[in-house]
Amino acid sequence: MGRMPSSSSSETIVLLAGGVGGAKLADGLQAHLGSRVVVIVNTADDVERHGLLVSPDHDTVLYTLAGIANREWGWGIEGETFAAAGMLERYGEETWFRLGDRDLATHVVRTARLRRGDRPTDISRDLQRSLGVEAVILPMTDASVRTEVLTDDGWLGFQDYFVRLHQEPAVLDLRFAGIEDAIATPEVVAALEVADAVLIAPSNPFVSVRPILAVEGIEAGLQTARSRGARVVAVSGIVGGKALKGPADRMLVSLGQEASALGVARQYTGIADVFVIDSLDAGQAGAIEALGMRVVVTDTVMTDAAGRARLAGEMLDAAMKGS
């Protein structure tokens, strides 16, 4: 697998990440670099359930890096039980967004501290320390941002579309409620200022990565990093025309794009310097290079811990090599 150059002891790598794909790549990076990985995670798919704030992408990354994630599901905690959800259902509560018993503790702590006035970033860092996570996970902003998708039946909250309706409606447009008041936290700004490279996970480019880049100060910080020589390396979550996880392939089509590695690459024109695609999509390399990116062709499917570390290593190598 690829490894960082011997000078990597001082490298800081920033990863922009959504849920499952972002968590897997973050895990691979943590295996290489430990605490020198900073994950800026999407919080626009956060949702309130039963009076508690749930942060799905953040918690998927958190549990994965802590080594307690349910790898079969891609979300939640290994060995989870749902006694509380069963009782809530008996009380007549809607439980289409089921919270596991141990997962519930995370949301109780988060919500109690938010009500005391604590910053989401401080809460996030404390949760990580409690679970022994090496890498740094930062919410993209301390402000409240919510992704909404336009369907034939009107605007829906993201989790209504994603979980309650099983991603079935076609997404015609999307918006980020509250984004105009969202600014990058001092921690996010500082991470981008010292980043030796910025990686973009194989997360949905529309609902996982775009909200992060839409936060005031983040894309500007990324472009400043590029201007001083830090490369941005993105990887396609579309392999052979299909999304590895979630509705990205269908969303690309319904939003007038192409469900392919090239279609994803187009979303990062002017942002990424290097684009990583799967061997199945090698034939698209020329078209992607025409967008102004160097292309790396490899196996991008992270089936196990070794696969996560391998892809992370190859992306790190790509970030450190000359154009």
pLDDT in tens, the chain (323 residues): 333 333 345 689 999 999 899 999 999 999 999 999 999 999 999 999 999 999 999 999 999 999 999 988 878 999 999 999 999 999 999 999 999 999 999 999 999 999 999 999 999 999 999 999 999 999 999 999 999 999 999 999 999 999 999 999 999 999 999 999 999 999 999 999 999 999 999 999 999 999 999 999 999 999 999 999 999 999 999 999 998 888 889 999 999 999 999 999 999 999 999 999 999 999 999 999 999 999 999 999 999 999 999 999 999 999 987 54
Identify whether 55 is part of a domain: no
Is the distance from CB of 146 to CB of 44 less than 8 angstroms?
yes
Is the pTM value of this prediction over 0.85? yes
Identify whether 124 is part of a domain: no
Place of tokens 């938010």: 114
Identify whether 51 is part of a domain: no
Identify whether 118 is part of a domain: no
Domain residues for the domain of 250 are 6-46+134-320
74: left (phi over 0), alpha (psi -120 to 50) or beta: left
Question: H or E segment at 294?
Answer: strand 294-298
Identify whether 54 is part of a domain: no
Q: Give the domain CATH number at 250.
A: 3.40.50.10680
Identify whether 188 is part of a domain: yes
Identify whether 170 is part of a domain: yes
Number of domains in the chain: 1
Classify residue 9 as exposed, middle or buried by CB count within 10 Å of its CB (0-12, 13-18, 19+).
exposed
